[in-house]
């Protein structure tokens, strides 16, 4: 099997910053045993808009108990990426604030609610999904999260979470993009950090990659993967490292520790000083 991947990027002319990345999304054994589909989804794109280089990454984890969460996890990743690309075509990244992001969540809910009515589905909760969304550029970075999973940034020495993974009201629960009070639930950050490394992953990997005491990823878990990625001499998708990640996440040793879907995106920045 090969890594599930969706990429869409254009070559740039003398960019100040660029990115190489690897990703994989693996179905959990619990879904194989129950003959259900993978509910994780990820979408990574790298594009030039108005002569500015942008990197987009969206990762979603559909709720295991939700009948149509595989469809909603795919839809929300595509929706946020498309909305961000369109916004940046006409606006500066600095204007991409929390209110704009809220309008995207509300658009998502409007579409899902329409499907609920048309197809007589019991509740919008049947489309419950988390979302991790990152937008990187030389002008600044946008991060959005609803639910569990991890977005972390750093370098070879350390990785720190942009947000703490969200826990719900009860144990082993979280929040979803279908929440009625989504305006209060989702987390948003804009920063101008020079991000050397970025990781994004669903909660299926947390048990093997996350230090719950320090509330941050285990750097020693990710350094060998980054070491392989950073040997890749080009920008864009590194298929070899992606296949390595897929094989690791799909191995028996990992399956014994977690039966959930597992999705991981890792990103390394490339600076070009010849501009």
Name the fold adopted by 17-271.
Phosphatase 2c; domain 1 (3.60.40)
Q: Would you list the domain boundaries of the chain?
A: 17-271
Whether residue 9 is predicted with pLDDT greater than 90 in this model: the reply is no
Residue with tokens 């014994």: 256
pLDDT score for 168 = 73
Q: Which residues contact 245 (CB under 8 A, 6 or more apart)?
A: 3, 22, 23, 24, 225, 264, 266
Mean pLDDT of 190-218: 95
Bridge partners of 39? none
Mean pLDDT of 191-196: 94
List the Cα angle 192/193/197 in 5-degree steps.
Answer: 140
Whether residue 7 is predicted with pLDDT greater than 70 in this model: the reply is no
The SS3 call for residue 11 is coil
pLDDT score for 6 = 36
- Find the radius of gyration of the CA atoms of the chain: 18
The pLDDT confidence band at residue 171, using thresholds 50, 70 and 90, is low
How far is residue 207's CA from residue 219's CA, in Å, rounded to a whole number?
14
Over residues 49-69, the pLDDT tens digits come to 999 999 999 999 999 889 999
Residue with tokens 């977690």: 258
Whether residue 108 is predicted with pLDDT greater than 70 in this model: the reply is yes
Over residues 223-257, the pLDDT tens digits come to 999 999 999 999 999 999 999 999 999 999 999 99
Whether residue 11 is predicted with pLDDT greater than 50 in this model: the reply is no
């Amino acid at each position: 099997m090969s890594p599930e991947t969706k990429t869409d990027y254009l070559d740039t002319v003398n960019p100040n910053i660029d990115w190489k990345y690897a990703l994989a999304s693996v179905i959990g054994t619990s879904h194989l045993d129950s003959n259900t589909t993978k509910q994780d989804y990820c979408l990574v794109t790298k594009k030039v808009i108005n002569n500015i280089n942008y990197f987009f990454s969206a990762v979603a984890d559909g709720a295991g108990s939700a009948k149509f969460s595989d469809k909603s996890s795919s839809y929300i990743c595509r929706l946020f990426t498309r909305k961000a690309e369109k916004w940046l075509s006409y606006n500066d990244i600095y204007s991409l604030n929390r209110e704009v992001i809220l309008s995207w969540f509300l658009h998502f809910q409007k579409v899902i609610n329409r499907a609920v009515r048309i197809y007589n589905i019991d509740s919008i909760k049947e489309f419950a999904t988390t979302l991790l969304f990152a937008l990187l550029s030389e002008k600044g970075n946008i991060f959005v999260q609803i639910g569990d999973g991890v977005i972390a940034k750093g370098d070879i020495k350390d990785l720190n979470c942009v947000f703490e993974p969200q826990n719900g009201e009860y144990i082993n629960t979280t929040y979803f993009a279908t929440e009625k009070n989504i305006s209060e639930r989702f987390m948003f950050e804009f920063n101008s950090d020079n991000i050397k490394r970025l990781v994004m992953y669903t909660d299926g990997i947390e048990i093997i990659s996350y230090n719950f005491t320090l509330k941050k990823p285990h750097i020693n878990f990710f350094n060998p993967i980054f070491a392989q990625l950073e040997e890749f001499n080009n920008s864009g998708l590194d298929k070899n490292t992606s296949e390595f990640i897929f094989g690791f996440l799909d191995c028996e040793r990992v399956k014994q520790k977690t039966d959930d879907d597992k999705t991981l995106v890792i990103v390394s920045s490339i600076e070009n000083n010849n501009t």
